[in-house]
Structure 1
Amino acid sequence: MIPLRPAQRSDWLDYPDVQLVHTIAGAVIQVADLGNLASFKLPYPAEAQQALDRTVLACLLRGVEEIPRSLPDLLFWCHSRPLEDWPLELPPDAFGADEYLVDPDALVPTQLCHEWWIRAKDAGAAQFDRDVVYTAMRLCRQAASPESYTAFRRLLVDRPVLTSVEKFEVDTDLFLAPVLELVDQCYVAAPVSYQHQGVYITCGRCLTLLTPLADGGWWCERDRCRRRGTPPHGRVLTDADSGGLLQLQRPLRQFVASPGRAEVDLETRLNRLGLAVELWPGFDAYDLRVTFPDGRVWAVDVKDWKHPGLLGRSAKPVRPEPPYDESCWVVPQEQADAHHDYLGTYRRNRPAAAQGLPLLTDNRLVELAEARLNGTTGICLDSAHPWNGAPRA
């Protein structure tokens, strides 16, 4: 089916089906949280029923003969039809080629689905990851302990899966004392759907639990991991080993731990150049504060998003404190390579208030840092506005 291509409109919300995709994504997440997407029973959850009703209505309004007649039909569309083949009026930058809301192999929500869900204005649960981070900031400020906040963020990045023994270690970590009650809300029991023949396996790259496939293979929920090939096996945990295995809640895995892994990797690369790098300065005002030998400072926020259009619509200036000379957002090179014109799509969807916020790949940022260290003049994060050498005010 050829998707509708209306004349270019001024804003995403001018397209009639943008909110519908938000609703469908929320329904997919809701059903997945209740159990296996391949099997469920009536009555359907309220949001799922609303998504089905609105999709049927959109099809009928457009004279489409083939419509989803049940929630199983709608979910079948989600893993058998890329968004470009849905009979919906969506912005040209709303999706890339062959992008699904449900992974065809693992039958779980894709990263794209999560990004549409998190951008939905009516999805209260989408605030969970931000509420957790803000609460951690508040508690650590009250304790006058920025070290505790850094320890909390590193915990979510480095330990998305905890055994009972590891949870005891966390509970007795003095740095984490101000946020221990919050930590308990961040982790939930690992579902049995991640288990195969009594065994859980973590990804050797991103450390999250792998999902067993029907053919005997294992699937990683992180798009960047899958693009690198078959996920390497990390820890192999039996019920006896795990003693009640815990994993980070889904929004925290998606929007805190995943970009956090990219942040830590970028910190390592910049440290190797001899640069001073502070992670999450000023209680996470931004992700990395990079200081050069001459005192010039770059502020960097890392965004590990699959879809550049949704990322662009989320763009906002980097907070001014702690002070810096230049700022940018950074996306992993692998994400940019996987989407045609990633940086251009970001720029086209960036709101007016963020027009001065450049987006670079992590490789490009490291190249610019290395060139500046080697004495190349005029190095600037925003190529459209070259730095003239003036010091920070």
Structure 2
Amino acid sequence: MFLVVVLSLGTFIIFFQGFMVAPILPGLSRIFHVSVRHVSFIEPAYLLGYGLATLIYGPLSDKYGRFPVILCSLTCFIVLTACTGFCQSITQMIILRLLTGIGAAGVAPNTIGWIGDKFPYERRGHALGIFFGFMAAGTAFGSSVGALFTAKVSWPVLFWMVAGVGVLILVLLIGYRKNFLQKESEPFGSFVALYQSVKEVFFLPRGWRTYLFVLFNGMFHSGVFAWTGYFFYKNYHLDEQGVGLALLGYGIPGLLLGPLLGKLADKYGRSRIIPIGILIGALSAILLSMNYSLVASCLFIATLSFGFELTHPLFAAIITTLSPKKGAATGLFAFFLFMGYGLGSLVFSLIVTIGLNQAFRVFGTVALIAACVAAINFKEEK
């Protein structure tokens, strides 16, 4: 499990870097003398580049192996993150964020693929629970600790610190490279055949159903979480540091309970846990909209994260069983996840004109319906 933790740390730092810019957008707008709206393109540039590139890295790992692709992707992430600290204009930053997303997109999906290669299905939930716990923690700590750090250090130093942590993780991976060098999957003859395999995986009955739930779940969590910072600012009048502390709860359940939740899925089955996870997320969004006390809202942020941990690791476990071409399957998983992230924040931004709390209720109500549909669609899953 040590290597699972190291690989998960790679995903943690990538997600940390991906979401740490949201709280510092107002500061960047002042530094570069542009509008906040202009600066806000930093986030979709990263998500768009990441989501599209996952379709490339998955098949590449089927052809050339997980380790070379993960190593190359993490190296690109480190170099491009360090370069971002030298940006002199917001346009340069947007371009570098796009390239960083493209470069970093090979780590997470191929880590899932490696877990699928290494662990039997009945033990896979535990490993994926660790992975997604670090992933959720990276999202939460990036948006919270990023705000806290920028109060102490300049934004370029924040990017260089992240690059430095990436180097340490890269060194650990190289030290354990022998664990990757065994034959991981069957080689495929051409890229035409590789992308034909992507099509085949998606159109499997269990494939398109699971990927659509991945897309929806990504939309739900991204849409709600992207606006929780403004929620605490608007309803509880917190400053940047206060918002950062309030959002810390989003990553705590996954970081502390991820392995346990994975074991529960292995023991009791995905058919029971997935609908419960979607239901918990839905209720969390609806309860947030009720404007209870600050302590209660912070608790609902944690339960929202709990709902994520009860769903996405389980979706990933299902996907690793769809086909022996795990690179194609996990590449599609990452693609739908990040397209969901981007679409969720966009849809929420479009409907937020009805009111922030009302938008939370709309997302929560749709998720309640999705939980009922999931109970039917995943009833045969083990």
Same fold (TM over 0.5): no
The structure that has the greater radius of gyration is 1
Question: If each structure's helix is expressed as a fraction of its own residues, which one has the higher value?
Answer: 2
Question: If each structure's strand is expressed as a fraction of its own residues, which one has the higher value?
Answer: 1
TM-score, length-scaled by structure 2 = 0.26
TM-score, length-scaled by structure 1 = 0.25
